[in-house]
Amino acid sequence: MIEAHQLRKCFKIYKSKKGTLGSMLSLFSGEYEEKNAVDSISFKINEGEFVGYIGPNGAGKSTTIKMLSGILHPTSGKVTVLGIDPQKHRKKLAQRIGIVFGQRTQLWWDLPVKDSFEILKHMYKIEDRAYQKFLKHYDDLLDIGQFLHTPVRKLSLGQRMRADLAAAMIHNPPVLFLDEPTIGLDIVAKHKIRDFLQEMNKAEKKTVILTTHDMDDIEQLCSRVIVINQGRKILDGTLEKLRTHIGLPSILTVTYEYLPKPNELEGIERAECTGRKCTIVYDRSKISSPVLLREISKWGTPLDIQMTEPDIEEVIQNIY
């Protein structure tokens, strides 16, 4: 359904970037460095899959998504999405995919959400009945009804993201590209969005590609993970495979009332105590958080507990 074959995107980085003439001259003089933002990436994604596309900043995630959707032209290689060549038939493809960029809204900033939807309705040539159904359906799923008449600029980040997601679904596309849809959101908002995405994938059988920095997004949503670093694919498989490959060390910091007595425990990789404060590094695939919490409370009476999620950047670095 989505296929990339030996996909490569090479950016030319000109030596002198300042000023019009400067970049013009360097254009002609040909003095530039070449950098492969995406380097011979191949994958095949089947209908109904939920794929997490992850990697550190600048790894080429967005560049890949933009090539899949026809925004960028690959330097070499081949892409097909739903049997369509995104570069040759960009507009045709746009009618069949939904895209959300978390960093940037695609709604009309000064207009009420509803007006944006109506514009999109005309843009995608959607029938009145289908449109009414859409409004009803997404009010159920995302509660967009409560801010339908508010200008986009007055929405909270979470509301805006829900509106953006609904907007991307207006033409009921079978494929969704989501570029960091949970970035900057609070926990409650993230939950709402995850539930929604799960619903889209499970109930409506949509194929989703998601880039994110949030490990929870991946754990809760993705059936498959593709990891890239510096433009190259370094892992492609199930979440289990990612886990066994790198482990998912989480960190718990506990402050006790009195000096604690730590015990060895299956799943705890490391426990360092200085005075009343303990830092515990554990593997979530081997020990669940509630079990761990129960165990460590046997060490003493905890006053304060802080949990630090594994940082995706570090995780990816660990693979190397």
Partner 1 sequence: MKLYIKLVSASIRSRMQYKMNFIFSMVSYGVIMMIDFVLLAAILNRFGQIKGWNIYEVGILYAISSISLSLYRTLAPELHEFEKYIIEGEFDSLLIRPVSPLVLLLSKNLDLSRIGGILQGILILCLSLYGLSQEQELIYIAAYLPVILVCGCAISYSLALFTATLAFWTQRIKDFQTFTLYAPFNAANYPMNIYPGWLKMIFFTVIPVAFINYVPMLYLLQKGGSLYFLLLPIFVAALFFYVSLKFWNYGIQFYHSTGT
Partner 2 sequence: MVYWLLFRKSFSRNMQYRLSHLINNAASAIFGFVYIAIWSAVLTGKEQNSPFSIMDMTFYMGASQCILWMTVFLTAGLGIQLGVRNGSISLELARPTNYFFYITSQEAGRIGYNALFRSLPIGLIFTITVGFYIPAHLPTYGYTLLSVLLAVGISLNIFYLIGISSCWTTEISWAHFINLTLMFSLGGQMVPLTFLPGPLSLVAEWLPFAGVVYYPVMIFLEKASLSVLLIQAGWFLVLLLLNQWITFLARQKIEIQGG
**Residues 288, 289, 294, 295, CA torsion sign:** positive
| Block residue for tokens 């994938």 | 201
259 binds, among partner 2, partner 1, none (CB under 5 to 8 A by kind): none
Contact of 196 with 143, CB cutoff 8 Å: no
Q: Which one of partner 2, partner 1, none is in contact with 217 (Cβ closer than 5 to 8 A by kind)?
A: none
Q: Which does 256 bind (CB under 5 to 8 A by kind): partner 1, partner 2, none?
A: none
Q: Is 178:185 a contact under the CB 8 Å cutoff?
A: no
**Which does residue 25 touch among partner 2, partner 1, none (CB within 5 to 8 A, set by kind)?**
partner 2
Q: Which stretch binds partner 2 (CB under 8 A): 11-19, 98-106, 147-155, 226-234?
A: 11-19
Give the full edge-to-edge strand order of the sheet including 50-54.
97-101, 175-179, 207-211, 50-54, 224-229, 232-237
Q: Which of 39, 53, 56, 69 binds partner 1 (CB under 8 A)?
A: 69
| Interface residue with partner 1, options 1, 71, 234, 273 (CB under 8 A) | 71
> Which H/E stretch holds residue 293?
helix 289-296
Distance CA 176, CA 117 (A): 18
The footprint of partner 2 on residues 19-38 (CB under 8 A) is 19-22, 25
Residue 37 interface partner, choices partner 1, partner 2, none, CB cut-off 5-8 Å depending on type: partner 1
Sites for partner 1 among residues 102-141 (CB under 8 A): 102-104, 106, 108-111, 115, 118-119, 122-124
Indicate the burial class of 125 (C-beta count within 10 angstroms; 0-12, 13-18, 19 or more): exposed
The site for partner 2 (CB under 8 A) is made up of: 16, 18-22, 25
